[in-house]
């Protein structure tokens, strides 16, 4: 990323919240579950799936975790009631991962139980590297009890291929992404090409160990690379899907859908939109640049 982009993303963090909200609206369905349902129905009409996320992470009290848990249950209820082509994504820290591990297991176990009853699925998002071991441990425990749960793997982490190897006895359903948090060079690749290379290597490994993979990226190079691997390894269409974020590269999403690939969109909703939005805006310096230009009339 250029120095200018670095400056722009730093400035974005100093922006007033309403301004951040204005520019991040495209990445969020709205404040309420109804908004996520409406968005999912629009996607479903096109044959596209969604995964619904209740915004919020790294909570500090059990009360907050219990509240997040009830909101997640409400998501599962509505998926069932409205027969949505959708599932649930959760942030383990939102379920109290860093407060009380056993309590977190209990909370997520209840979600998996309800999801199983309704024939749907729970995805454990991957968070920053301080949580990786605990999220994989949580996943291992749940995976021994449920088929309808899976975890996310980040290709920027140096440990990733080893993790896939180590989990081959249990991990049958992954989402593979590059990773969004800022991590130290000792544990994470920093170069765009190294991250891409590790992404495709990890994808190959996942298919080799027999996993289902949500190929989560908007990077054309990776999408083309994934298609090549799928062809070369003759991977059946029942073993993967493409995944993208709401508001990002909708043309690419529609193109993949038109080509007949299964596509799922990550649909976040809720009042805790700020941290999520800042991460999305940092990913996209062009949008961030517009904010700066509009505010300071630099153009
Ligand atoms: C469904 C899904 C779930 C995810 N879950 C996790 C998770 O659990 N943990 C985690 O760490 N990360 C997660 N991520 C984020 C991921 O790690 C990357 O940060 C993000 O997807 C950007 O990487 P990319 O592969 O799209 O490549 P990039 O090179 O970043 O993007 C490729 C192109 O897509 C466009 N683009 C990308 N982001 C934006 C944006 N915000 N706004 C506008 N255009 C954009 C740009 O044109 C860019 O050139 C998830 C991503 C997806 C798609």
pLDDT band (50, 70, 90) for residue 288: low
pLDDT band (50, 70, 90) for residue 298: very low
Dihedral angle computed from the Cα positions of residues 230, 152, 28 and 83, in that order, rounded to the nearest 10 degrees: 70
Q: Decide: 266 in ligand 1 pocket, CB within 6 A.
A: yes
Dihedral angle computed from the Cα positions of residues 54, 57, 62 and 66, in that order, rounded to the nearest 10 degrees: 10
| Whole-prediction pTM | 0.93
CA-to-CA distance for 88 and 77, rounded, in angstroms?
11
What pLDDT is recorded for position 5?
60
Q: Decide: 280 in ligand 1 pocket, CB within 6 A.
A: yes
Domain ranges of the chain: 29-272
> Is residue 32 scored above 90 in pLDDT?
yes
To test the pocket of ligand 1, the residue of 177, 268, 281 to mutate (highest count of ligand atoms within 8 Å of its CB) is 177
CA 5 to chain centroid, in Å, comes to 24
For 91-107, write each residue's pLDDT tens digit. 999 999 999 999 999 99
Least confident interval from 6-10, 45-49, 275-279, 287-291: 287-291
pLDDT band (50, 70, 90) for residue 280: confident
What pLDDT is recorded for position 295?
44
Q: Mention the CATH class of domain 29-272.
A: alpha beta
What pLDDT is recorded for position 269?
95
Q: Decide: 15 in ligand 1 pocket, CB within 6 A.
A: no
The residues that are catalytic are 125, 175
pLDDT band (50, 70, 90) for residue 125: very high
What pLDDT is recorded for position 256?
98
Q: Decide: 151 in ligand 1 pocket, CB within 6 A.
A: no
pLDDT band (50, 70, 90) for residue 15: confident
Phi-psi region of 56 (alpha: psi -120 to 50; beta: other; left: phi over 0): left
Q: Which residue has the tokens 């479903």?
A: 44
> Is residue 62 scored above 80 in pLDDT?
yes
What pLDDT is recorded for position 17?
82
> Is residue 297 scored above 50 in pLDDT?
no
Distance (angstroms) between ligand 1 centre and the Cα of 243 equals 10
> Is residue 6 scored above 70 in pLDDT?
no
To test the pocket of ligand 1, the residue of 216, 220, 266, 286 to mutate (highest count of ligand atoms within 8 Å of its CB) is 216
């Amino acid at each position: 990323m250029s120095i200018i982009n670095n400056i722009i993303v730093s400035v974005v963090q100093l922006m007033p919240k309403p301004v951040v909200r204005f520019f991040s609206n495209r990445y969020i369905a709205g404040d309420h579950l109804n908004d996520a349902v409406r968005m999912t129905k629009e996607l479903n009409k096109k044959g596209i799936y969604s995964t619904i996320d209740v915004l919020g992470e790294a909570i500090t009290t059990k009360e907050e975790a219990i509240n997040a848990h009830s909101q997640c249950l409400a998501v599962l209820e509505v998926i069932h009631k409205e027969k949505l082509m959708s599932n649930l994504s959760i942030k383990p820290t939102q379920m109290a991962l860093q407060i009380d591990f056993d309590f977190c297991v209990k909370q997520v176990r209840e979600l998996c139980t309800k999801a199983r009853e309704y024939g749907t699925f729970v995805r454990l998002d991957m968070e920053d590297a301080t949580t990786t071991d605990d999220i994989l441990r949580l996943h291992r425990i749940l995976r021994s009890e449920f088929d309808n749960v899976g975890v996310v793997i980040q290709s920027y982490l140096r440990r990733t291929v080893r993790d896939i190897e180590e989990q081959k006895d249990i991990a049958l359903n992954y989402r593979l992404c590059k990773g969004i948090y800022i991590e130290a060079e000792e544990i994470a690749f920093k170069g765009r090409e190294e991250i891409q290379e590790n992404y495709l290597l990890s994808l190959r490994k996942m298919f080799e160990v027999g996993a289902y993979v949500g190929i989560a990226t908007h990077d054309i190079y990776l999408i083309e690379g994934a298609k090549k691997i799928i062809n070369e390894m003759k991977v059946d269409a029942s073993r993967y899907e493409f995944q993208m974020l709401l508001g990002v590269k909708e043309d690419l999403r529609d193109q993949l859908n038109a080509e007949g690939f299964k596509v799922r969109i990550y649909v976040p909703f809720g009042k805790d939109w700020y941290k999520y939005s800042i991460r999305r805006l940092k990913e996209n310096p062009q949008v961030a640049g517009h904010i700066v230009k509009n505010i300071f009339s630099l153009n």
